[in-house]
Amino acid sequence: MIAAAFYHFATLPDFADKRAPLLALCEQHNVYGTVLLAAEGVNGTIAGEPGGVRAVLQFLRSDPRLASLEHKESPAARQPFHRMKVRLKREIVTLGVPELDPASQAGTYVEPSDWNALIADPDVVLVDTRNDYEVAIGTFPGALNPATQTFREFPEWLEQHPELRGKKVAMFCTGGIRCEKSTALLRSRGFDAVYHLKGGILKYLETVPAEENRWQGECFVFDERVSVGHGLAPGSHTLCRSCRHPLSAEDRASPLFEEGVSCARCHHTLDDERRAALAERQRQSVLAEQRGQRHVGARVATSRQH
């Protein structure tokens, strides 16, 4: 079984027409996951047997506008999803600036092999376009942290930093989609020299030799691994099942941490009813694991965008 993550910006005014045939094909091949369709393109993560996943990707690429769609593929020991969803959206990654056209406005791609040289340039301003909880567990040294809780906050952050105008700006994110859209935002606001890391942090960690790796910490990912390090080796973080924030070993040592129930960040926000429900879900998850089964409550689920 394999999992495939992909996105592609393209002008798709007829995107709604793709939903039914795409969903039918996924169901035919027992492929599960989520695919978002919008007028600006497609974004998704799916999993299934290799032939089924590749049939879905081939179907998408059969549209000339999506012919150059790239995907990241990884083995999956078991099906990480419980259903197949194809959703129609206003945006495939929500920034809240509908007039953008990333397919034509995005900045200059920089290959991972060339990234170190770019960010070593003292005239380059490095910006991490991810959310604060992601930046907290790892980033490139010297990168600006917009301290956003959602990607929608990024345009406001940009407006609050007019000093960036006229400078070279290099941007990065987990897999490429957010920095591709944010570079389009900067170019639409009059920035000329805007660059972004092709394939995102994940491609950098996968391909850049260890001795040249400038990444510090781990990289948050939107699946059951929670975080990865160099070479995409599994990281040390786990996920709080209540607030969905990544937890380090230090976080898990807090007296306010309770496996499957809460962490120090969200402990004070839970009422007795919610705490009891989470505790019961954790109990059922442990019992299922002891029986060699998989409980839905154990699944890493998040609506955050990558």
- Residue ranges, CATH 3.40.250.10, the chain: 102-217
Look up tokens 């105008």; give the residue.
Answer: 165
| Confidence bin at 167 (pLDDT 50/70/90) | very high
CATH 3.30.70.100-classified regions of the chain? 2-88
pLDDT in tens, 108-165: 999 999 999 999 999 999 999 999 999 999 999 999 999 999 999 999 999 999 999 9
CA distances from 2 to 54, 59, 188, 189, 220 (A): 10, 17, 38, 40, 20
Say yes or no to pLDDT of 306 above 50. Answer: no
Least confident of 72-76, 87-91, 116-120: 72-76
Pick the CATH number of 102-217 from 2.70.98.60, 3.30.1510.10, 3.40.250.10, 3.40.50.1820: 3.40.250.10
Assigned fold of 2-88: Alpha-Beta Plaits (3.30.70)
Comparing 45-54, 56-65, 127-136, 243-252, which segment has the lowest mean pLDDT?
243-252
d(CA 78, CA 48): 9
pLDDT, greater one: 23 or 282: 23
What's the mean per-residue pLDDT of the chain? Answer: 90
pLDDT at 302 over 50: no
CA distance 300 to 1: 18
Known catalytic membership, residue 173: yes
pLDDT tens sequence across 16-54: 999 999 999 999 999 999 999 999 999 999 999 999 999
Higher pLDDT, 127 or 304: 127
- Could you give phi then psi for residue 16, rounded to 5 degrees? -65, -30
Q: Which of 26, 173, 179, 240 is catalytic?
A: 173
Which pLDDT tens digit goes with each residue over 290-301?
Answer: 776 655 554 443
pLDDT tens digits, one per residue of 188-203: 999 999 999 999 999 9
- Give the torsion sign (CA, 272, 245, 9, 50): negative
Local confidence band at 73 (pLDDT 50, 70, 90 cut-offs): confident
Residue 303: is its pLDDT beyond 50?
no
